[in-house]
Homo-oligomer: A and B are copies of this chain.
């Protein structure tokens, strides 16, 4: 836990927050609640207006948001967006002052994190590899889990923001990339467990089992997983509004496949899971809840699920 590290500066910290999506917006609220001056940036003007109504400042580009900030928190979807925010036109590397820290929360290939860190650190700024987990609700409560790696200087510089955003902070190594790698291991398991839960639940439905009883029995048995317990209520309720979308795991299990292929390391279980997320996305459900993989199984087999039309 960094929370034991003495505060580095008595002055009110100025932070920039790049990306006001479902996670980033809540993290911005947590930063404001902790008393930081926060300047937000997002491509969506409505998000910027809403953030101003909460007491945040806003800017027209990542570079402008990052000017004078001691801490720049980046909450975007992937490595490509992170690279654009850092080094693209209007990127923060142009304006971040020396000694400031860039806190990168996107899930990405560890090699990318290492590359970004080396390039930014060469210019005298710090980089904290800090993937997050926990969902939008915990983001807004300042109760995220962070799987971080970076230099002691990066951690110390980011401390006021880390305390505001995370209730569980794992500092896993002094080199960027290790946090990203831990996050990928978690995503491998999380993705497989969602797909397996959907396979098992529709298999149970196909065999005529009472699905609420299946949920009760499995969550009390050795077949349980965090994801089974968290996602299968969406199937029982027939409610596929996106808490986390199918396409997130198309992306994250895709990164696993790339990492595994580069390392000449076969990953047949997560490869099979990726195919099911891809099939669900291909069937038009990419932006719906990731428990929609159950609907894909149900539709191709004509198996009834709660709230779903039965096949002709």
CB of A106 closer than 8 Å to a CB of B: no
Tell whether, in the assembled complex, residue B300 and residue A266 are in contact, meaning their CB atoms are under 8 Å apart: yes
Tell whether, in the assembled complex, residue B187 and residue A223 are in contact, meaning their CB atoms are under 8 Å apart: yes
Closest to A135 in B: B222
Cα of A190 to Cα of B181 in the assembled complex, Å: 25
Tell whether, in the assembled complex, residue B259 and residue A207 are in contact, meaning their CB atoms are under 8 Å apart: yes
Closest to A275 in B: B268
Most buried by B among A193, A196, A210, A272: A196
Contact residue among B185, B190, B209, B222 (Cβ-Cβ distance under 8 Å from A230): B222
Tell whether, in the assembled complex, residue B182 and residue A217 are in contact, meaning their CB atoms are under 8 Å apart: yes
**Which residues of chain B are within 8 angstroms of A228 by Cβ–Cβ distance?**
189, 225
What per-residue 1/0 map shows which CB atoms of A263-274 lie under 8 Å from chain B?
Answer: 111111111110
What is the distance, in angstroms, from A165's C-beta to the closest C-beta of chain B?
16
What per-residue 1/0 map shows which CB atoms of A143-185 lie under 8 Å from chain B?
Answer: 0010100000000000000000000101010000010011001
**Which residues of chain B are within 8 angstroms of A203 by Cβ–Cβ distance?**
185, 188, 256, 260, 265, 267
Cα of A213 to Cα of B183 in the assembled complex, Å: 12
Decide if the interface of chain A is mainly helix, strand, loop or mixed. Answer: helix
**Which residues of chain B are within 8 angstroms of A200 by Cβ–Cβ distance?**
185, 188-189
Q: Chain A contact residues (Cβ within 8 angstroms of B): what range?
A: 35 or more
**Which residues of chain B are within 8 angstroms of A303 by Cβ–Cβ distance?**
265
Closest to A201 in B: B185
Contact residue among B188, B195, B209 (Cβ-Cβ distance under 8 Å from A269): B195
Contact residue among B195, B202, B216, B263 (Cβ-Cβ distance under 8 Å from A207): B263
CB of A115 closer than 8 Å to a CB of B: no
Tell whether, in the assembled complex, residue A268 and residue B259 are in contact, meaning their CB atoms are under 8 Å apart: no
Tell whether, in the assembled complex, residue A265 and residue B217 are in contact, meaning their CB atoms are under 8 Å apart: no
Q: Known contacts being A217-B170, A225-B225, A226-B225, is A192 close to B182, with CB within 8 Å?
A: no
Tell whether, in the assembled complex, residue A196 and residue B186 are in contact, meaning their CB atoms are under 8 Å apart: no
CB of A84 closer than 8 Å to a CB of B: no
CB of A276 closer than 8 Å to a CB of B: yes
Most buried by B among A192, A203, A222: A222
Q: Which residues of A contact B (CB under 8 A)?
A: 110, 133-134, 145, 147, 168, 170, 172, 178, 181-182, 185-190, 192-193, 195-197, 199-200, 202-204, 206-210, 213-214, 216-218, 220-228, 230, 256, 259-260, 263-273, 275-276, 297, 300-301, 303
9 extra interchain contacts, Cβ-Cβ under 8 A, other than A193-B196, A206-B265?
A: A134-B222, A172-B213, A181-B207, A181-B208, A188-B199, A188-B200, A188-B223, A207-B259, A263-B301
A-B contact pairs, 10 of them (CB 8 A): A133-B222, A147-B221, A170-B216, A172-B210, A185-B218, A192-B192, A203-B256, A225-B226, A265-B303, A269-B276
